[in-house]
A and B are shown apart, each in its own frame.
Chain A
């Protein structure tokens, strides 16, 4: 327990000392916020953005974007690098349990997701005045499910990708595909059918639906939440199956 606490605190500090991951997880969503907000504002149009204002649509989408950046870029590169360089080996020789190693990453993921989402919310609110979430209770549930899902997804990628290089390559590719086609980029309504199909195959698409519905006051998206839960269980199972200390 003491090790878990210390490791979590050190991992937070390490995260802040690593500019690349800070840019991907905290800065990039803010840049999107101002680009998209500047272009589309928050006036509803019936044809795009599920019929709601662009900023109302994007607020929960950016929560999902932050979770996705953690799961595709930050975590896999971090874990694969730890294994490649012998950090995991060093941890294991000192009897660090797999639960304290992965548990600290899960806690750090939560903290980053919460801090990043609060930043997006405050700056978005000040500049573009989107509405507050209609159903905060269910939004929190969706937030927890989404963060756990992408954290497990990151554990899975970090477990199967053999090196930092591989993790960077695969992680970046998945990041950009999901970001553009998964619902955090252009409105899904303007994309071609093929792009929509690829978008629907990404976990981000469903995490965003799960987050958007309680935010916008729509009914809880049961299908989305089941798909997210399924991705979580599958990722966690595969991560447990393929996790190696060295």
Chain B
């Protein structure tokens, strides 16, 4: 299947600041593709170039077969945008905004349905200024979908949403994709990328430093498993001899064993053999957080 988005050697600078150094990737139809990275990594600038909101300094971009630089408004009609920094007039009502933004498409989605789906139905007659941060965010997502876009760009979509609303948003985005819309997600939340994305590109300092499925990234970059338990026994030198163990650390009564392979089973067996049966024995699987740390030496929130 030909890609719906292809980006080759995209570069964008603001004066002396290099926002995007050299970015290339492709997105296929029906994918949920994530750009993951810390603030200032160049994710937003990249997707703004794709949405014809900024002109790249150099590089080739094709979105739905169109060149955003010269076919911007034709492209914007076919995509949906949830922007990080934007607003509506203070006194516009929620339903008026959806009605207005639906008017650009000939086959706009019924906004009553969107209001219900995104949980802002009881706010339909409220003005934009009176909405909470989370409600504004959900309205913007609804606006990005009202023209039945072929691709929707969501930039930090769950900022300002409480944990329950985030889960609902993830489910709804899965449903949007299942209806055939390609989703491009910009996020600095590792759990969001891991839960939602089919493929993730890790962006740092204006470049893509790794790109794969979340599972693929974890198996290639973060293979180490941690096994954690508590015991008051002091002397545990035999733990280091268990197959796969690389490091044993102690914080008071809490023991952290790092290594790879079937670590939990082997450590458990060794513990039982030495008469230790901790109630809190558990293992922590590596996550995208560990991938990011491994790739950049930093955590995403740094």
**A residues within 8 Å of B by Cβ?**
2-3, 5-7, 10, 13-14, 17-18, 82, 85-87, 89-90, 92-97
Contact = CB atoms under 8 A, between A and B. Distances in A.
B154 to A, nearest CB: 12
Given A89-B83, A95-B73, A82 B100 contact: no
Interface residues of chain B: helix, strand, loop or mixed (majority): loop
B53 interface: yes
Interface residues of B, number: 24
A85 B89 CA distance: 9
B113 interface: no
Given A90-B86, A94-B81, A2 B103 contact: yes
Interface residues of chain A: helix, strand, loop or mixed (majority): helix
29 contacts: A2-B104, A3-B100, A3-B103, A6-B99, A6-B100, A6-B103, A7-B100, A10-B96, A13-B96, A17-B91, A18-B91, A82-B89, A86-B86, A87-B87, A87-B88, A87-B89, A89-B86, A90-B83, A90-B86, A90-B143, A93-B53, A93-B76, A93-B81, A93-B83, A94-B76, A94-B81, A94-B101, A94-B143, A94-B147
Contact of B73 (A5, A85, A97): A97
Contacts, number: 60
B92 interface: yes
Contacts of A92: 53, 76
B182 interface: no
A90 B100 contact: no
A149 B87 CA distance: 29
A10 B51 contact: no
B76 A95 contact: yes
Interface in B77-101: 77, 81, 83, 85-89, 91-92, 96, 99-101
Nearest to B146: A94
A90 B80 CA distance: 11
A9 to B, nearest CB: 9
A210 to B, nearest CB: 33
Given A2-B104, A6-B100, A6-B103, 14 more contacts: A2-B103, A7-B100, A10-B92, A13-B96, A86-B85, A86-B86, A86-B87, A89-B86, A90-B83, A94-B104, A95-B73, A95-B74, A95-B76, A95-B77
Most central of B74, B85, B104, B147 by chain A CB within 10 Å: B104
Which among A18, A94, A95 has the greatest number of chain B C-beta atoms within 10 A?
Answer: A94
Contact of A90 (B73, B87, B99, B104): B87
B210 to A, nearest CB: 29
A246 to B, nearest CB: 8
A99 B201 CA distance: 38
A88 to B, nearest CB: 9
Contacts of B92: 10, 14
**Of B87, B88, B147, most A-chain CB atoms within 10 Å:** B87
Contacts of A85: 87
A96 B73 CA distance: 8
A163 to B, nearest CB: 14
Interface in B41-100: 51, 53, 73-74, 76-77, 81, 83, 85-89, 91-92, 96, 99-100
